Structure 1
Amino acid sequence: MWSEGTIGIPDAKDKDRYTVCHYWVKHYDEPSETYGINGGKISKLMIKVNGIITANYDRGWDVEPQDEPTRMAYSILLYQYN
């Protein structure tokens, strides 16, 4: 099943500002040791910040999360879908 949405990550320096992370996740009911992130249910994941792909997983990492907002959004998505 595909899920799409946005996550607002508060700015570390200015709590009134947010970084908007738009995401797409393909997840299944059962985990996959072969294709899932950390052997879990997510087989595909994309996170974009300001139109730029900041994380991409398609049965393996193409672009790993590097910046703090992307890592935080990734953690939230792992909790929610994996």
Structure 2
Amino acid sequence: MWKEGIIGIPTKNGEYKKVKYWVKHFDEPSEDYGINGGKISKLSLKMDGKWIANYDRGWDIKPTCKEAEMALCILLNEHN
């Protein structure tokens, strides 16, 4: 199932950075294709017009910043 949306990541000055996400997840985990052997097989993250992470059955772009790492944690928690 595909899902997309925006995650607000808090900054030090009390504002939020918008991270756009697209994620494809399944009902069952996959050791071969899922992130960390989980249910997410595809994931894209974009912030300020730049790709900050991309996973398509393997990392094409590993998380490039703390916002990408935080968004990834949120999505893993929600879908795994």
TM (normalized to structure 1)?
0.94
What's 2:52 paired with? 54
Kindly state the Cα deviation for residue 66 of structure 1 after the two structures are TM-superposed. Answer: 2.3
Q: Distance in 2 between matches of 1:68 and 1:34?
A: 26
Map 1:61-80 onto structure 2 (within 5 A).
61-80=59-78
Q: Could you list the per-position Cα deviations for residues 40-70 of structure 1 after superposition, in whole angstroms to 9, with x for gaps in the alignment?
A: 0000000000111100000000001121111
Secondary structure of 1:35's aligned partner: coil
Does the residue aligned with 1:29 lie in a helix, a strand or coil? Answer: coil
In the aligned structure 2, how far is the partner of 1:47 from the partner of 1:24?
Answer: 7
Runs of 4+ in 1 over 4 A off after TM superposition: none
Is there any run of 5+ residues in structure 1 with no aligned partner, and where?
Answer: none
Partners of 2:72 and 2:78 in 1: CA distance: 10
Name the amino acid aligned to 2:2: W
User: Secondary structure of the residue that 1:70 maps to in structure 2?
Assistant: helix
Does the residue aligned with 1:20 lie in a helix, a strand or coil?
A: strand
* Normalised TM-score (structure 2): 0.97
- Report % sequence identity: 59
CA RMSD of aligned residues (A): 0.7
Gaps of at least 5 residues in structure 2 are: none
